[in-house]
Structure 1
Amino acid sequence: MTVQRHDWSCRPRRNGVAMTEFADPTFYRSPAEAAAAPAERLAYVAAFDRSGRSPDALAVVNVDSDSASYGRVIGWAELSTYGDELHHFGWNACSSALMHEGHDMHGLARRYLLLPGIRSSTIHIYDTQPDPTEPRLVKTIGADELADKAGYSRPHTLHCGPDGIFLSCLGGANGSEGPGGIALLDHDSFEVLRAWETERGPQYLAYDAWWHLQRNTAITSEWGTPSMIENGLDPELLLANQYGHALHFWDLAEGRHIQRVDLGEQHQMVLELRPAHDPEATWGFAGVVVSTEDLSASVWHWHHDGERWVADKVITIPAEPAAAELLPPVLRPFGAVPPLVTDISLSVDDRMLYVSCYGTGELKQFDVTDPASPRETGSVRLGGVVSRTPHPAAPGEALAGGPQMVETSRDGNRVYVTNSLYGAWDDQFYPDGVGAWMATLHADPAGGLTIDPQFFPHGQDFRGRRVHQIRVEGGDASSDSYCYR
């Protein structure tokens, strides 16, 4: 299949008029412009029912510290179906839309949230206007359409791209295990257009996808096929190093595979990708869940070296020894709690990297001013397989789960975390129940983290659902790619 290469530029024009004049004001041209924008007042949170007896929901949480309802769930939109398991979701359009030559920017806005169900392969689309606290369901994309038009199932991660919505999927169509890959959707109509890849090369496993716009380079990572993840972590597959352990680099405009970078088969499950926000930069970070050599977790720094992409391990987080009787069955043979790095977040100014350790219940902060040599500058603990560290708002309440999904405000001052990883995996690591909670951390610009004692929606605030990804009103550190410095 041949796809015409786009001629992208950061100031698309129509009839001699700069298209940015028509654009949503939250389409920020640069990271500095995004950081200087008004602070967020709302956060949208995916909430799912593990049993499938109640519909999943999109929760709206007040994050305006000057409001009387700060830290409360003030909006709630339930899906029309059951058993979807909402996971990662995202906006229909964002700052990267400014990169698309010839796209009609008039009317295009960061307005719709697309919520994929990782188990159902159904995508629910919610309009956050006119009242952002009352999202309205406006369209549903069925599993059949995703399979028929793109050849994929199990949608996982969604990013608004320069010329459409990039939806990474773990499985193939019609019950096929794979290959997983990216479905391309239209910004406006939300129609599933096609599979994004035109020359796949050796890539088979999928997980996250992101890019360096100015380098015309996409990056993808690897988790596992549907059967490898849907019933929980398979220890036999893990110890046989069968989960993903590579990064893939692509021609972004053409969807053509360029290079595979293997991190080593012991580095199992290469998940979240966080490229530098500086549009001229050619580096980023990838989180690795676990090493089968010693149960450590790691963060890798990819960068362009001459004509090739390379990746180096720059952060190693060791496992923590623990008595077998304190551990869930899946960990007892090892006598330790692995950190389980399941999410990372890079601040918009590219200075601070946040690393969530779902197993040990820790969120770490690293100064990455020199991305090749991160320096730890802060840490907080909440939950954890063994420690069950309570929140300051409820000092007598042992917490299950741990900092899992992490999102950073545009100005870098606030970090939001939720505690659920994935239904079947929660049940393995927290077999007595994972609960549901969300926390806000305040980040010191010079380094350091503190837990906000006033912000702790949890338990029945989420109506019996578990909570996963967070998206912030107006965009966040994981939403946007920029055109200018």
Structure 2
Amino acid sequence: MAHPATDPTFYRSAAEAAAAPAEELAYVVAFDRAAERHDAMTVVDVQPDSPTYGKVVGWTEMPGYGDELHHFGWNACSSALKHEGHGMDGLSRRHLLVPGLRSSNIYVLDIQPDPRSPRLVKTIDAHELSSKAGHSRPHTLHCGPDGVFLTCLGGGEGDDDGPGGIALLDHSTFDVLRAWETDRGPQHFHYDAWWHLNQNVLISSEWGSPSMIENGLVPELLLGGKYGHAIHFWDLDKGVHQQRVDLGAQHQMALEVRPSHDPEATWGFLGVVVSTEDLSGSVWRWFRGDGEWKVEKVITIPAEPADPDLLPPALKPFGAVPPIVTDIDLSVDDRFLYVACWGTGEMKQFDVSDPAQPRQSGSVRLGGIVERRAHPADPDTPLSGAPQMVEVSRDGRRVYFTNSLYGAWDDQFYPDGVGAWMVKLDADPGGGISIDERFFPHGDDFRGLRPHQIRLQGGDASSDSYCYRA
């Protein structure tokens, strides 16, 4: 049994997480590309028998302008059980820490007492992040056993282009403690980081420095192989770099890392945006073998031929739409991997029961640079944008996604406008996905803001790491 003071949403195992009550709310950040309105945390009703199902039922504005709220997460989650039985009194999944990728501000929201009305209780400004951790441009966070790990794309004030790295925050006071790395090794660019908790291993990935992404994709840098193309392995306790594995400079922008949810496993998946050889996107598997970490490509998603007249300027010379793999998510039971293809407008589902040999088991298409495929709830309205940020429920039965990537990149690849929408898929336990026609918050539901990342009440497939197999 768990410690009596333990939050019931701290799950000992993946199976316990899947068996817990389903989420009733989704928290979705939304931003104003023009920086003329406040960004917001929105709350969406995801309870199917509710009269407000699929509606925005909560709205909390941030105080500033131009934050571009990005990948946010919980102050604490199931990884806290690594220290089960001591030092956990009062610790709960109560606060959301929300970074602004452009402003470097971090907002702390309290979801109690009313989960539909998050309250802003603290702001961590850019100066504190820089002075205490030596970083800027906070991107992604994960709740760890001893604090919050916040990946950052930039260096400190006056050195925005890096190196990037990880800031460690206290998960109760939310103070910035320090830079996590004690020996950073060769990693300069940063993007995501997660871990094999019981193996004492952290895995990190690479995108680019702020100047390389701020105003959109830079074709000369892409074709020159200058964006990130490696994955890194670290000693989690000590913050010491151990190994770098280069994917090859043609495999540009190594983004999300998704470790197995099995606490004894030593494998996971990495999404790569594009190959400069053929515009394909890909997914790679890392694993440990012969005393070192190895990486192999296990999924290749080809580009699709297209009429150049239908393409944005950046793609016209190629006469094709790259899939643009921008997000991946692994179900809590490690059975299905979801791959968002933001260029072609496809969400793919792969059966990864054998992680070395994924098999496509489902697909839906919405939006897309060329197709602009409509949602069944509004079949006469072409959609801009495409599946991007994806989140999977703990039981694997529901998949949610939004359509905006990053403001400058939205404008570059969807110059006529990216719109604003959120979709829910129903996932068959045996494989296959279908669009829930009743669920389609879009347009004015988000008051002109662009929705980005999603977090599900009580945890989801990309928020928690588990300490026990059963």
In the TM superposition, 1:57-68 aligns within 5 A as: 57-68=40-51
Question: Residue 275 of structure 2 contacts residue 281 of structure 2 at CA under 8 Å; is this kept in 1?
Answer: yes
Mapped to 1, the partners of 2:381 and 2:224 lie a distance apart of 38
Name the counterpart of 1:339.
323
Name the counterpart of 2:152.
169
Mapped to 1, the partners of 2:23 and 2:390 lie a distance apart of 16
Q: Does 1:455 align with 2:439?
A: yes
Name the counterpart of 1:77.
60
Q: Does 1:123 align with 2:81?
A: no
Mapped to 1, the partners of 2:435 and 2:422 lie a distance apart of 11
Among residues 296, 319, 334, which one is paired with 1:350 in the alignment? 334
Name the counterpart of 1:26.
9
Among residues 375, 378, 386, which one is paired with 1:391 in the alignment? 375
Name the counterpart of 2:353.
369
CA displacement 1:163-195 (0-9 Å, x = unmatched): 000000000011311110000000100000000
CA displacement 1:19-61 (0-9 Å, x = unmatched): 7221100000000000000000000001000000000000000
Name the counterpart of 1:135.
118
CA displacement 1:135-161 (0-9 Å, x = unmatched): 000000000000000000000001001
Aligned partner of residue 20 in structure 1, secondary structure:
coil
Q: Does 1:154 align with 2:137?
A: yes
1:483 is aligned with what amino acid? Answer: C
Among residues 204, 207, 214, which one is paired with 1:220 in the alignment? 204
In the TM superposition, 1:369-448 aligns within 5 A as: 369-448=353-432
CA displacement 1:291-343 (0-9 Å, x = unmatched): 00000000000001131000000000000010110000110011100000000
In the TM superposition, 1:245-324 aligns within 5 A as: 245-324=229-308
Mapped to 1, the partners of 2:459 and 2:345 lie a distance apart of 26
Mapped to 2, the partners of 1:407 and 1:231 lie a distance apart of 27
> Structure 1 residues 101 and 194 mapped into 2: Cα distance closer, same or farther (>3 Å)?
farther
Question: Residue 323 of structure 1 contacts residue 336 of structure 1 at CA under 8 Å; is this kept in 2?
Answer: yes
> Structure 1 residues 386 and 151 mapped into 2: Cα distance closer, same or farther (>3 Å)?
same
2:38 is aligned with what amino acid? Answer: P
Mapped to 1, the partners of 2:85 and 2:358 lie a distance apart of 40
Mapped to 2, the partners of 1:42 and 1:29 lie a distance apart of 22
- TM-score, structure 2 normalization: 0.99
Mapped to 1, the partners of 2:417 and 2:219 lie a distance apart of 21
1:35 is aligned with what amino acid? Answer: A
Aligned partner of residue 316 in structure 1, secondary structure:
strand
The Cα shift of 1:103 comes to 5.2
1:23 is aligned with what amino acid? Answer: T
Mapped to 2, the partners of 1:57 and 1:234 lie a distance apart of 29
Identity, % of aligned positions: 72
How many corresponding residue pairs?
468
1:92 is aligned with what amino acid? Answer: N
Q: Does 1:113 align with 2:88?
A: no
Aligned partner of residue 172 in structure 2, secondary structure:
coil
CA displacement 1:376-408 (0-9 Å, x = unmatched): 000000000000000000000100000000000
Question: Residue 304 of structure 2 contacts residue 321 of structure 2 at CA under 8 Å; is this kept in 1?
Answer: yes
Q: Does 1:233 align with 2:217?
A: yes
2:429 is aligned with what amino acid? Answer: P
Question: Residue 268 of structure 2 contacts residue 287 of structure 2 at CA under 8 Å; is this kept in 1?
Answer: yes
> Structure 1 residues 33 and 229 mapped into 2: Cα distance closer, same or farther (>3 Å)?
same
Question: Residue 347 of structure 1 contacts residue 353 of structure 1 at CA under 8 Å; is this kept in 2?
Answer: yes
The Cα shift of 1:101 comes to 6.8
Mapped to 2, the partners of 1:248 and 1:175 lie a distance apart of 26
2:104 is aligned with what amino acid? Answer: S
Among residues 162, 181, 187, which one is paired with 2:171 in the alignment? 187
In the TM superposition, 1:36-55 aligns within 5 A as: 36-55=19-38
Aligned partner of residue 3 in structure 2, secondary structure:
helix
Question: Residue 281 of structure 2 contacts residue 324 of structure 2 at CA under 8 Å; is this kept in 1?
Answer: yes
Question: Residue 195 of structure 2 contacts residue 203 of structure 2 at CA under 8 Å; is this kept in 1?
Answer: yes
Mapped to 1, the partners of 2:290 and 2:52 lie a distance apart of 52
Question: Residue 156 of structure 1 contacts residue 168 of structure 1 at CA under 8 Å; is this kept in 2?
Answer: yes
The Cα shift of 1:100 comes to 3.1
Mapped to 1, the partners of 2:141 and 2:108 lie a distance apart of 12
Mapped to 2, the partners of 1:385 and 1:194 lie a distance apart of 42
Mapped to 1, the partners of 2:24 and 2:132 lie a distance apart of 37
Mapped to 2, the partners of 1:28 and 1:56 lie a distance apart of 32
Mapped to 2, the partners of 1:236 and 1:275 lie a distance apart of 32
Report which stretch shifted further, 95-104 or 165-174: 95-104
Question: Residue 361 of structure 1 contacts residue 402 of structure 1 at CA under 8 Å; is this kept in 2?
Answer: yes
- TM-score, structure 1 normalization: 0.96
1:353 is aligned with what amino acid? Answer: L
Mapped to 1, the partners of 2:198 and 2:110 lie a distance apart of 31
Question: Residue 384 of structure 1 contacts residue 402 of structure 1 at CA under 8 Å; is this kept in 2?
Answer: yes
The Cα shift of 1:229 comes to 0.3
Among residues 99, 102, 107, which one is paired with 2:82 in the alignment? 99
Question: Residue 87 of structure 1 contacts residue 117 of structure 1 at CA under 8 Å; is this kept in 2?
Answer: yes
Question: Residue 153 of structure 1 contacts residue 172 of structure 1 at CA under 8 Å; is this kept in 2?
Answer: yes
Structure 1 gaps, min length 5: 1-17
Name the counterpart of 2:195.
211
Mapped to 2, the partners of 1:102 and 1:154 lie a distance apart of 35
Structure 2 gaps, min length 5: none
Question: Residue 20 of structure 1 contacts residue 98 of structure 1 at CA under 8 Å; is this kept in 2?
Answer: no
Mapped to 2, the partners of 1:95 and 1:386 lie a distance apart of 41
Question: Residue 19 of structure 1 contacts residue 105 of structure 1 at CA under 8 Å; is this kept in 2?
Answer: no
Mapped to 1, the partners of 2:34 and 2:18 lie a distance apart of 40
Among residues 70, 73, 80, which one is paired with 1:87 in the alignment? 70
1:362 is aligned with what amino acid? Answer: E
1:378 is aligned with what amino acid? Answer: G
Aligned partner of residue 21 in structure 1, secondary structure:
coil
Mapped to 1, the partners of 2:22 and 2:158 lie a distance apart of 44
1:89 is aligned with what amino acid? Answer: F
Q: Does 1:466 align with 2:450?
A: yes
Question: Residue 27 of structure 2 contacts residue 455 of structure 2 at CA under 8 Å; is this kept in 1?
Answer: yes
Mapped to 1, the partners of 2:273 and 2:86 lie a distance apart of 38
